[in-house]
Chain A
């Protein structure tokens, strides 16, 4: 008896390892297929199943709201989650693992680009079916995708370049207002700007131009921070960027032509899920390539030691300039998207509250890592939605969680990790046990 109790943690660990090994042959495509089956199941069988289990309707955000609000319904919710999400995903991923693996390796050999596109299509299908259940899910998903873009763009400056920039809400405000002004001026009859100048049918096609215009305005604004950054860094730059944020907010409040403190409303509803998904994918792809390029490595050099970087022929001024403008551009694009998702902006949206939120997402996910930014943005957004029923206490639990993350992992959950798409879509080899070696259970990836 004593021996077993001593062994139990070890057997637990080995069980966890066996569990991981059991699923290790499943490629990403397998998980996506499993997820697709799960959301399809929910789409067609979700409502009757929910009624059967005594739930009023399909749990919207993985049952968090129900669990927090009505403790009596917890067993039903857990069974629902098991039946609809956990079991189908696990079974499909495991059973079709070898078939999908062959498919993935065929795709990969055919053309990696095509394989990436297939993955993205599957991901999009999954997300659109998942969010088709309710408008609340759709809005949450849209805000999450925007948060991913914002977090990535801030990570360029705060993570990769190691400055503490507080100006991101300012950039977002510039982008949001510029894009809104363009679309309101050109395509919408409204009270502020009068009749539309161009036919309304052109709107969705010109919308990317408006967004990019917003991004460029934000990038031009970023020059105001990039130039002082040549001479100073660290805290003084933090203050300069903070002052910039306040200046932008105050300027917009005083511009009567864009509504002043009342804000701008009735933006056209151009940002549907496919548009937003494409923009997010583009942002992740471009930013990931940027940080892995020579210029991106120069950012890390400037962060670690500016003088040494200078001595190694890194043009520090150009590097800083490009990084600030690039980050601000994407923040502006995200702001434009946000304005068209909410269809209302006012200067109060882009204040200190937003700053704390964006900073929290970056440092929660992890510095210097595209992977971490995605995890941080998605995790923070979903967490803050899921804890909404707790009302006030949400703002005690989330900060506490962040403090704990900072104490135990000061650079964030997944910091300093490269986001390599090729590794993600690669087929996973079957786990092969090597019989004759001393290290039992070593995985060899074919």
Chain B
């Protein structure tokens, strides 16, 4: 039982990375009906931006220019990186997606893939092939909860991720911008006639998704402090799978599917050899999609697909 709870905590942490990234896919899909295949690499860029900001802040406080406690550095890193990464997302939207809004959907998928490759290679060209290690900002403290060992990092990651997801949910449901997003997801043609600035809404959707991906990247750096330029590829595709599994455009579905993927990936190696992890994870997904082809919360296929 302790063993189970121990892994439950790990799975929650692992799933929150997937869920945060999947939200970006899902929101862009809901609003533009396009997949942002560069999103996995935006996660990578977010992690590197976080690394840069954190290193700079640590360096400043080591020099004595401004003495900041570590938790404040982490909080500042998260906020500044969210801000900077959202600009990366907006640039991606402007370069790769806006010119292709009326093109076949697959063409936009190709530009997304290519922007992803450019981001990876650009990072490789700028920083070289070596891996960088994220500065350890929080001193790891382990709490013993009746045989289950929990570190403060894990608690922070899970709680902040859940809080962000809830905040996003509130934003989409309660604000005017959120209403514009939902309206655009509902109908792409009529909504601009109602005075909704669709370009701004699309840009903001990309910015929001990228900011969440940046948080996921920083948390990944905090939990597993090694970053490399290709870390976004596999994460991105898996989160994409989670976004589809949750049902397109559904925020709740993306979160649930992200956590589900995390659970599968953590619990499968407990029972089977760890090399079978991908095989079983994807087989389960294939089974779910066979019996529920539209994901958890997706609406059935309609003629709205523009291809």
Contact = CB atoms under 8 A, between A and B. Distances in A.
Interface in B53-88: none
B35 A235 contact: yes
B267 interface: no
B283 A247 contact: yes
Nearest to B129: A392
A400 B118 contact: yes
A224 B233 CA distance: 25
Interface in B203-261: 233-234, 237, 240-241, 244-245, 248
Given A239-B245, A242-B241, A233 B100 contact: no
Contact of A392 (B103, B125, B237): B125
A95 B117 CA distance: 47
A411 B237 CA distance: 24
Contacts of A193: none
A402 B121 CA distance: 15
A250 B276 contact: yes
Nearest to A243: B282
Contact of A403 (B96, B275, B295): B96
Interface in B107-124: 107-111, 113-115, 117-118, 120-122, 124
Contact of A236 (B124, B240, B289): B289
Nearest to A240: B289
A403 B111 CA distance: 5
Interface string A384-407: 000000001101100110110011
B3 interface: no
A97 interface: no
A246 B277 CA distance: 11
A352 interface: yes
Contacts of A251: 279
B233 A352 contact: yes
B113 A360 contact: yes
Contacts of B193: none
A396 B113 contact: no
B305 interface: yes
B275 A236 contact: no
Interface in A3-56: none
Nearest to B244: A239
Interface in A208-258: 224, 228, 231-236, 238-240, 242-244, 246-247, 249-251, 253-254
Given A236-B293, A359-B113, A410-B107, A250 B121 contact: no
B278 A246 contact: yes
A367 B122 CA distance: 29
Contacts of B95: 403
Contacts of A233: 301, 305
B307 interface: yes
Contact of B122 (A162, A249, A396): A396
Nearest to B233: A352
A254 B275 contact: yes
A164 B275 contact: no
Contacts of B307: 162, 234, 303
Interface string B266-307: 000000010111110011011001100111000001000101
A238 B273 CA distance: 28
A362 B99 CA distance: 20
Contact of B294 (A236, A352, A360, A400): A236
A442 interface: no
A396 B117 CA distance: 7
A93 to B, nearest CB: 36
A359 B110 CA distance: 7
Interface string A151-165: 000000010001010
A363 interface: yes
A360 B106 CA distance: 11
B197 interface: no
A243 B240 CA distance: 11
A139 interface: no
Given A242-B237, A242-B241, A254 B279 contact: yes
B289 A239 contact: yes
B85 to A, nearest CB: 20
B104 interface: yes
B221 to A, nearest CB: 23
A87 interface: no
B111 A407 contact: yes
Contacts of A240: 286, 289-290
B293 A228 contact: yes
Nearest to A408: B99
A196 interface: no
A356 interface: yes
Contacts of A224: 286
A410 B100 contact: yes
Interface in A266-321: 303
B241 A239 contact: yes
Contacts of B29: 235
B106 A254 contact: no
A228 B294 CA distance: 12
A244 B286 contact: yes
Centre residue among B106, B108, B111, B233 by max chain A CB count within 10 A: B106
Given A247-B282, A396-B118, A356 B294 contact: no
A410 B293 contact: no
Interface string A402-431: 110011001100000000000000000000
B110 A234 contact: no
Contact of A407 (B100, B244, B273, B289): B100
25 contacts: A162-B307, A232-B301, A234-B307, A235-B244, A236-B289, A236-B294, A236-B295, A240-B290, A242-B240, A243-B282, A244-B282, A250-B278, A254-B273, A352-B234, A356-B113, A363-B107, A393-B125, A395-B121, A396-B125, A402-B110, A403-B96, A403-B115, A406-B110, A410-B100, A410-B104
Interface of B: 29, 35, 95-96, 99-100, 103-111, 113-115, 117-118, 120-122, 124-125, 233-234, 237, 240-241, 244-245, 248, 273, 275-279, 282-283, 285-286, 289-290, 293-295, 301, 305, 307
Given A236-B289, A242-B241, A352-B234, 20 more contacts: A224-B286, A232-B301, A236-B294, A236-B295, A242-B240, A243-B285, A243-B286, A250-B279, A250-B282, A251-B279, A352-B237, A360-B114, A392-B121, A396-B125, A399-B114, A399-B115, A403-B111, A406-B100, A406-B107, A410-B103
Interface of A: 158, 162, 164, 224, 228, 231-236, 238-240, 242-244, 246-247, 249-251, 253-254, 303, 352, 356, 359-360, 363, 367, 392-393, 395-396, 399-400, 402-403, 406-407, 410-411
7 smallest CB-CB distances across A and B, nearest first, come from A410-B103, A399-B114, A232-B293, A250-B279, A250-B278, A395-B121, A243-B282
